Structure 1
Amino acid sequence: MPADFEECGRFAWRACRDGTVEILHSLDTTTISDSTMIDGLTPLVLGGVLCGQEAFESAAVQVIESTAGTADAGWAAFYDNSVVELTSGTSPFGPVHRQARSLVRGHSVLEVGCCFGFLALQLAEDGHAVSACDITAGAIDHLTRQATRRGTPVDAVVGDATRLPFATDSVDTVTLIHLLEHLDEEAAIQAILEALRVARERVVVAVPFEDEPSEHYGHLLRLTEADLRRWADRVAHAGARTFTDHGGWLVLNP
């Protein structure tokens, strides 16, 4: 390792004269995945090297794109390895996706706040008719390209969770998996109402339980199971249940 880099967990870093940070890593197309990228960057966040969501996301993109000879090859490896880890359960987030997939009812599914769309890809490869939306156009572009490359049909569109661009009663299940903690209280309720409007059979909500909201992930709310029950009390539905499994879950019947 060059002498001017400082080790920090699995990665190393140095400050540049322009105020940016250069990160050194050993990940390649066989090892890059969502979990290995997060494992590498988290110590830099905890150490104060990366501050805030924008810095974290910028570093993540640079790590992914530097694992191969081209950015496209880096993204392809990132997606393929991440889906394998999530499906097999070797990713720390795998249990959340496994639970979400088990709670889907009916054939058609909408994943709201899909981010990279790993769950949407798994659901489509399970045989569901899948739509996905996220407020970030870049995330939708990546998902669309990778779904096409993998031959996996996912209808991905840019959309706001509080104003879903989908018709009433248009899909069987709507999922909001680790999305609502990114919103304030009233926006979270509006997102649940929108999901209930669009869903015919079920709405599935999952949130992390954190001591403090994770700033680098853009989290705003610290949530407990009591918050999920309170949310259920604030919306009209035909049945609700909450439970805990690697965080909190709220399952609503429209």
Structure 2
Amino acid sequence: MSTTVAPIDPLRSCPAGRYADERLIVEPGRPLGVTAAATGDGRILVRHHLRPAELDDELGAALAAALAPLTDDHDVFARAFTGVVLTSAPQAERAWELFYRNTLARIRHAEPGYSAIYRRALELLPRGEVLDLGCSFGFLALHLAARGDRVTAAEIDAGTTTLVRSMARRLRRPVEVVRADGAALPLPDGCVDAVAVLHVLEHVDDATGAEVLTEARRLARSRVVVAVPFEERPTALFGHVRRIDAHHLYQLGHASGWSFDIHRHHGGWLVLDRPVRHHR
């Protein structure tokens, strides 16, 4: 008999300091860091002991290392990640606010790690109206808003869009959050100056990825910025379903009909620029 697993609720407070659902249990513990072990009922028990300053987006690497010997299931990873954050403070929004403030500070202070990807995107995206397509936690969108851009963040997951909207409000960063499929957004042609597609394509198959880039070009007046990880094999625990390399990026750029540049910086980058029309 199959058991239906409830969707992740990122704003579910854990005042007792313990998170539990049908697939795993998360609770504070010692020593420092993150550990994971199988339980007798088929779930995974994750224990963590993090200093407040350590609660940021780099948590993903430590959590993946703990879970990898037990599972490569992305849903388990996402639930564990959420559980670690939620059990770091009694009230959900306060826990996430600490997580967001720490992560945004890493980007601002040029600390190493995934933050380097956001910093490069900020360098490549023109100021003005920007769409963060497949925004995940919305860190790029929040930084774009802080520099004065008019920002739309789009994400397909309902829980994530609710979280990003809540954090944008708490951090007083004006971001319009839209729940939508990245291959079919309810927005008009050429509605933004640029579109960011950061670490999205590795989560979808070739055909869907091509549709996402077609949609990004439809919406962008001038530039589309794409970032992907360069991996030997897709990391299933992170939800990656395919490997993308420099040759694949070249094919995508060539097929777009736009001017394009490819470079490496903590992974691969494809920057598409709409051709300039010369009027006679």
Q: TM (normalized to structure 2)?
A: 0.84
Q: 1:25 aligns with which of 42, 48, 62?
A: 48
* Corresponding residue of 1:168: 189
1-structure distance, mates of 2:32, 2:60: 11
* Corresponding residue of 1:10: 33
Contact residue 13 and residue 22 of structure 1 kept, 8 A:
yes
Contact residue 121 and residue 152 of structure 1 kept, 8 A:
yes
Within 5 Å, give how 1:201-212 maps onto structure 2. 201-212=222-233
Q: Across the two proteins, how many residue pairs are aligned to each other? A: 247
| Letter paired with 1:117 | G
| Letter paired with 1:125 | A
* Corresponding residue of 2:22: none
Q: Which runs of 4+ in 1 moved over 6 A?
A: 6-9
| Offset from partner CA, 1:51-90 (integer Å, 9 cap, x none) | 3100000100110000112222211111111111122221
| Letter paired with 1:41 | L
Q: 1:236 aligns with which of 249, 253, 257?
A: 257
Counterpart check, 1:107 vs 2:109:
no
RMSD across aligned positions (CA):
1.9
* Corresponding residue of 1:192: 213
Counterpart check, 1:85 vs 2:121:
no
2-structure distance, mates of 1:38, 1:26: 14
| Letter paired with 1:108 | E
Contact residue 7 and residue 13 of structure 1 kept, 8 A:
no
1-structure distance, mates of 2:186, 2:195: 13
| Offset from partner CA, 1:13-46 (integer Å, 9 cap, x none) | 34333211221111253321110x2132122233
Gaps of 5+ in 2: 1-28, 275-280
Stretch moving more, 110-119 or 226-235: 226-235
Shift of 1:215: 0.2
* SS of residue matched to 1:174: strand
Q: TM (normalized to structure 1)?
A: 0.92
Q: Share of identical aligned residues, percent?
A: 32
Shift of 1:131: 0.4
* Corresponding residue of 2:278: none
Within 5 Å, give how 1:112-123 maps onto structure 2. 112-123=133-144
Contact residue 183 and residue 219 of structure 1 kept, 8 A:
yes
Contact residue 32 and residue 50 of structure 2 kept, 8 A:
no
Gaps of 5+ in 1: 1-5
Within 5 Å, give how 1:145-184 maps onto structure 2. 145-184=166-205
* SS of residue matched to 1:69: coil
Indicate how the Cα distance of structure 1 residues 232 and 13 shifts in structure 2: closer, same or farther if over 3 A, else same. closer
Higher helix share: 1
Counterpart check, 1:40 vs 2:47:
no
2-structure distance, mates of 1:30, 1:165: 38
Stretch moving more, 196-205 or 159-168: 159-168
* Corresponding residue of 1:135: 156
* Corresponding residue of 1:246: 266
2-structure distance, mates of 1:11, 1:137: 27
